[in-house]
């Protein structure tokens, strides 16, 4: 069923509502981009399989939700080694939103730091 309700302003939402909507939208975007079978076959993790084919509107919303979550939390995302920004985007891989620097390797320490910051933001350990 299509969602007809107007999106709430992110700054009017509770922390939990932000986290929930962010998680839902991500899930939806993943479901749209790959079938379950494919995702199992490729053993894609949450962090790796975001937003490949959602609409611009949804991906803007996802960015708004994420920005609000990172603003509210005091979780410091790791610094980009290229440009020093602390703003990571999660598309089909993790990449700096400022300069596009990407980290692909599972063993990468930076990538692990980014994911642990992401987990802290999403699971509300900062509240």
- Integer Cα distance of 69 and 31 in angstroms: 23
CA atoms within 13 A on the CB side of 92: 7
Q: Which stretch binds Zn ion (CB under 5 A): 14-22, 27-35, 52-60, 83-91?
A: 83-91
Burial of 33 (0-12, 13-18, 19+ CB in 10 A): middle
* Stretch 20-49: interaction string toward Zn ion, x if CB under 5 A: ------------------------------
Contact between 79 and Zn ion by CB under 5 A: the answer reads: no
Helix (H) or strand (E) holding 15: helix 15-33
Which residues from 84-113 bind Zn ion, rule CB under 5 A?
85, 96, 98-99, 101
Binding site for Zn ion (CB under 5 A): 80, 82-83, 85, 96, 98-99, 101
């Amino acid at each position: 069923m299509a969602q007809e309700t107007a999106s709430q302003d992110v700054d009017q939402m509770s922390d939990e509502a932000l986290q929930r909507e962010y998680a839902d939208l991500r899930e939806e975007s993943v479901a749209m981009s790959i079938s379950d079978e494919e995702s199992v076959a490729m053993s894609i993790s949450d962090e790796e399989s975001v937003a490949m084919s959602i609409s611009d509107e949804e991906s803007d919303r996802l960015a708004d939700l994420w920005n609000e979550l990172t603003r509210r939390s005091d979780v410091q995302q790791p610094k980009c080694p290229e440009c020093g920004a602390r703003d990571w985007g999660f598309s089909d891989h993790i990449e700096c939103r400022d300069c596009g620097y990407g980290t692909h390797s599972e063993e990468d320490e930076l990538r692990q730091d980014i994911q642990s910051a992401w987990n802290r933001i999403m699971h509300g350990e900062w509240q």
